[in-house]
Structures are given as C-alpha cells and as structure tokens.
Structure 1
C-alpha cells in the first residue's frame, strides 16, 4: 500500500468542497479536483478509490470545518443565561456558517446527492444527527432557556436562513436577518 500524504489528502478534500460549491455534484470529477488543488492530473484518483469516496470524505470534512473552535464554545458559556443571550448565539451561528459559503453550498449539493448515495447519506446522517444532539446537550447543560424541541426548531430555522443568505442574498437584508433571528428566538424560547 502506498503511504499517502495526510496534508495533501486534506487539500484534495478541501478542493472537492470548492468544486462542489462552484459546479455542483455533476462537476465533481477527479480532474476538476486536481485542477482546483493545483496538483498533477491523476493525483485525486491516487487518494480516493471512487467518486463516492470523494463525496463521503467531503461530507465529513465540511462538518470538521463548520465546528466552532474551543474559544467560540467557551465564549458561548459566558454571560447571562437568557433569551437575549440565545439570540446573540443564534446570530453568531448564522454569521459563522454563512462565512464558510463554499462549504455550506457544497453541503447542500451533498444533501441532494445523499438521496442517491446510501454511503453518503449514512455519513451526513451521522454528522448532522451528532451535531443536533451536541447542540441540544450543550444548550441544556449550559442552563440556557428552552428545551430540546426549541433547539431543534432553532436549528431548522437558522439553517434555512443561511440557505437564503447564500443562495438568494437579496431576499433579506442584514437588518431583517437580525430581526428574524430575534423573532425566532422570541417565539421558540420561553
């Protein structure tokens, strides 16, 4: 077995994310990944046995990159445990996720592709369910107001708000986004 360069493999997966965001699932080819990563033709096919593996690896990597860092998590535990703080946290989430535009757009492509690829569906289901469970656990353990259902409903609402911001940015302006986040929290969190 050929020993592979871990950094190069990660760069190829990151390149796959960029290709997915720009060209969609049909555009995700080994050649397109090689071009995006600026490596010799054939490099991606040396690292990934199939397009399915490339899809699956990209799905996992997006979630690695979307996770907040330790400082962001620690900061979420500071301050009061009230609805205003939940609103601030939801705004931060929308901003952080929206700032990884290519990753989120690639994730949308992967979600569609997961309807046809069972292995990809399994990876995304595991990551997304894990993310939802971690958000619920963190919310409840931190003493924030609201129950598990409120967390799930906020998760769903904020995700679609991010979709709107990234795909149709002129639908809601910045001020309206802030009002919508506050309104969602006000209606979902006691």
Structure 2
C-alpha cells in the first residue's frame, strides 16, 4: 500500500508542503499517477476517504493499470458537494476550482457512504449508482457520517470491501 501526501491534502507540515492545487481533481491526480507509475507493478486498486476517494475514482481514467477504486464517504463529482451542510465544506466550495469531472470511472467502484454525513450529501452520491460499472458495489451504513466510526459500520463495510477486492482478482 502506498499513501502519497498530495498537494490538496495538507497533511504534512505547511512549512514544507507544496502549494495547493490550482485545480482540485487534476493536479492531485497527476501527482497520484506519477506515484503509481513509480511504485507499482501490475493491476492497481486505488482508494481513499473523502477527497481521497474522489481522487481514486479520477485516477482510473488516467492510468490503465487501475482495475478498481474504493471510495469511503467520498464524492464522485465535485457537484455532489453543492448541497453540503458542513460549514468548512461550504467555505471550501466558494473558493476551490475543480477540474471537469462529469465522466464517471469506467472501472468497478466500491462506494461506502454513511446516510447522515453533513460533509458530503449521501443523496448526491447515491444518484450516480445507475451509471456505475456493473461490478460496482454500494454500502450505506445507517447512522454514520463522514467515516466508518462505529464497530457496527465497520462490520457492514469492511468485510464487503475485502470480498469485492477478492473478486477483482
């Protein structure tokens, strides 16, 4: 497993981090594809939580070695965030510029999203289900928000994720 620290994540010390991306979902995808090409051999499954899951689905069209992506409490298109109730997400959306993301990944996706997350409206994400690859899977743990924070949610999501990964081969 490789977990790159991308420009848009801001997880490392701001004093040494790269500038924020000019276009979310493009600059970070370029970074992720570069890391993927330098560190992997053979089929790859990308994945992430929140923005990381969005990027995982955006990397698939840019890297033919990607055979699937898992998204935990993520969004598939930037428009999914327009109805967010979470104040920091609203503030972010007023200033962030996203790359065009109208096309959904043509690979199987595993999407797990709690039904009560104010950051990413579940209805917006659920609306994409009919257009996902037929081998995609959707899990919606009741009462969960942004993340699988309870044992009950983990028991609903992670065994299914592992079985889905096994099916990808």
| Structure of greater Rg | 1
TM-score by length of 2: 0.34
- Specify which structure has the higher proportion of strand: 2
